[in-house]
């Protein structure tokens, strides 16, 4: 399809509605980033045809090709006007997200203990494909409590502290989880993976604050220059994946009954307010809670290592997902509307004073955590007033090279040596997996962050660089 992009400003491009598009496409990017995005713009156009979509079909600067929706896509549908929910608008890794913990020490004080910390993490953090997790559940009943209570349940059971809940999106758990909509197979897959990283771009990193762009906001978030941090990037493992699979199938079968046609089968959807829509959202919320509990238990395991090896405490800066659909109220054309906001590879970025933000940081806007590529930088951003795209921003650096291509570019051993030479301790589970994640395989995360800030979606607070990487 021929696409015409109109440049509205250097970081904002518009695709005028045509054909079945109900709204325009709005792509936030720089000219450079746009070059890699060309193919996935077709997916931005497809999303614009969804029933009930309002505003625009948005794409963040890290847009790349995904299942149905582009990764980096944001779309909101009007619940009270036939708006749909689509599992493809969340993706397979439901509730994939990032958690940042701040240590009570800087690089200099932690440096002597770092090898011990890394070896401890190497032993303690389950990772890679398949089963394994730090928490051995007592049985299916306990999984139910996790699906219902998220990290709130993990903290109740002694695996965390109160701040882990106040500084987590949704206070650690969403209330509308419906375990009855989670299939037996999804439960089976989830049972043995609570407290595990997974593979691919998921990671646990020991980092240091390399640069602070706004000292006041950084301090409120709990960050100062040279401070050591831990960043955890992971999702809902096989459970979320299975939930996506199950509900895409159910919606694909049901769509006809609602008279819905979509340009791509991967956009299977039904109205939010339908049995299938409610079932998906209930199961998705259960996976969201599983994802939070997963990150909570990995934090707990990490804290034990830091305490034992370095007598260092870790406190939560924030935990936020970049793969979720949420029912939120926003103003559209001057009226308050109940919307289903899909964010897929896009991070919620609430503005200052939003009532859902933790009280102690409310005036600064929501912390947004951007995981970088192994060996490069990660960022802490903050939501800004008037943020566009229903208060959303980027989520990281998208891939530009396939796994296969990446593994051909560099040998795992060589990459490990290169990282170690650069002062980054590496604890990979497999060298092949490490090679697939080589930094050259990804876009420049700094360019993505710069474009997001330029587009008025967020502002930068701090840049973090890795001291040690634990990978699947």
Partner DNA sequence: ATGTAC
Q: Tell me how far apart the alpha carbons of residues 433 and 130 are, in angstroms, rounded to a whole number.
A: 14
Question: Which of 346, 352, 349 has its CA nearest to residue 398?
Answer: 346
Nearer to DNA, 94 or 229 (CB): 94
The answer to whether residue 40 forms part of the interface with DNA (CB under 7 A) is: no
Q: Tell me how far apart the alpha carbons of residues 34 and 447 are, in angstroms, rounded to a whole number.
A: 11
The answer to whether residue 246 forms part of the interface with DNA (CB under 7 A) is: no
Query: Site for DNA (CB under 7 A): which residue of 151, 201, 208, 312?
Result: 201
Taking residues 115 to 154 in sequence order and writing x for each that binds DNA by CB under 7 A, - otherwise, the string is: --------------xx------------------------
Q: Tell me how far apart the alpha carbons of residues 315 and 391 are, in angstroms, rounded to a whole number.
A: 26
The answer to whether residue 185 forms part of the interface with DNA (CB under 7 A) is: yes
The answer to whether residue 327 forms part of the interface with DNA (CB under 7 A) is: no
The answer to whether residue 235 forms part of the interface with DNA (CB under 7 A) is: yes
The answer to whether residue 385 forms part of the interface with DNA (CB under 7 A) is: no
Helix H or strand E segment including 31: helix 31-37
Q: Tell me how far apart the alpha carbons of residues 397 and 201 are, in angstroms, rounded to a whole number.
A: 10
**395 an active-site residue?**
yes
Q: Order across the sheet with 25-28: list the strands.
A: 5-9, 12-15, 25-28, 53-64, 71-78, 335-344, 323-332
Rounded to the nearest whole angstrom, what is the least distance from the CB of residue 321 to DNA in the complex?
A: 13
Query: Site for DNA (CB under 7 A): which residue of 55, 126, 238, 367?
Result: 238
Sign of the alpha-carbon torsion through 196, 201, 205, 210: negative
Beta strands in 283-322, from DSSP E residues, in sequence order: 314-321
* Token pair listed for 417: 């040596």
Which residue among 136, 330, 395, 404 is the active-site one?
Answer: 395
How many other CB atoms are found less than 10 A from the CB of residue 330? 16
Taking residues 93 to 122 in sequence order and writing x for each that binds DNA by CB under 7 A, - otherwise, the string is: x--x--------------------------
Backbone angles phi, psi at 240, to 5 degrees: -65, -40
* Token pair listed for 171: 């206070």
Nearer to DNA, 227 or 323 (CB): 323
Rounded to the nearest whole angstrom, what is the least distance from the CB of residue 397 to DNA in the complex?
A: 11
The answer to whether residue 193 forms part of the interface with DNA (CB under 7 A) is: yes
| Active site amino acids | 395
Residues near DNA (CB under 7 A): 92-93, 96, 129-130, 185, 188-189, 193, 198-202, 234-235, 237-238, 241-242, 472
């Amino acid at each position: 399809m021929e696409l015409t992009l109109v440049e509205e400003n250097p970081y904002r491009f518009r695709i005028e509605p045509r054909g079945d598009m109900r709204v325009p496409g709005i792509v936030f990017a720089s000219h450079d980033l746009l070059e890699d995005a060309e193919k996935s713009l077709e997916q931005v156009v497809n999303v614009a045809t969804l029933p009930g979509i309002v505003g625009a079909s948005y794409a963040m600067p890290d847009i790349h090709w995904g299942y149905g929706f582009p990764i980096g896509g944001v779309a909101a549908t009007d619940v009270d006007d036939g708006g749909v929910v689509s599992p493809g608008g969340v993706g397979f890794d439901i509730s994939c997200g990032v958690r940042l913990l701040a240590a009570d020490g800087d690089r200099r004080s932690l440096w002597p203990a770092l090898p011990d910390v890394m070896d401890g993490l190497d032993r303690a953090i389950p990772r890679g494909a398949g089963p394994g997790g730090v928490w051995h559940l007592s049985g299916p009943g306990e999984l139910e409590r996790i699906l219902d209570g998220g990290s709130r349940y993990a903290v109740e059971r002694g695996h965390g502290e109160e701040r882990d809940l106040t500084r987590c999106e949704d206070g650690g758990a969403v209330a509308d989880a419906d375990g009855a909509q989670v299939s037996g197979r999804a439960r089976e897959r989830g049972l043995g993976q609570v407290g595990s990283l997974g593979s691919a771009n998921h990671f646990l990193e020991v980092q240091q604050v390399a640069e602070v762009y706004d000292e006041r906001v950084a301090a409120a978030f709990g960050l100062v220059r040279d401070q050591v941090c831990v960043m955890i990037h992971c999702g809902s493992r096989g459970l979320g994946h299975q939930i996506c699979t199950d509900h895409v199938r159910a919606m694909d079968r049901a769509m006809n009954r609602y008279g819905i046609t979509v340009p791509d089968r991967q956009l299977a959807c039904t109205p939010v307010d339908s049995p299938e829509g409610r079932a998906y959202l209930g199961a998705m919320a259960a996976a969201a809670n599983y994802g939070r509990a997963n990150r909570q238990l990995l934090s707990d395991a990490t804290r034990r290592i830091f305490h034992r090896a370095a007598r260092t405490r870790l406190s939560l800066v924030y935990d936020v997902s970049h793969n979720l659909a949420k029912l939120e109220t926003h103003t559209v054309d001057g009226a308050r509307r109940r919307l289903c906001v899909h964010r897929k590879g896009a991070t919620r970025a609430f503005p200052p004073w939003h009532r859902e933000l933790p009280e102690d940081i409310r005036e600064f806007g929501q912390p947004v955590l951007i995981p970088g590529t192994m060996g490069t930088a990660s960022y802490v951003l903050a939501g800004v007033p008037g943020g566009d795209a229903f208060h959303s921003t980027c989520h990281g650096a998208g891939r530009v090279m396939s796994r296969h291509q990446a593994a051909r570019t560099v040998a795992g051993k060589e990459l490990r040596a290169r990282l170690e030479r650069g002062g980054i301790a590496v604890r990979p589970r497999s060298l092949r997996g490490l090679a697939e994640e080589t930094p050259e395989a990804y876009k420049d995360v700094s360019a993505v962050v710069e474009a997001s800030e330029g587009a008025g979606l967020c502002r930068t607070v701090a840049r973090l660089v890795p001291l040690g990487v634990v990978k699947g």
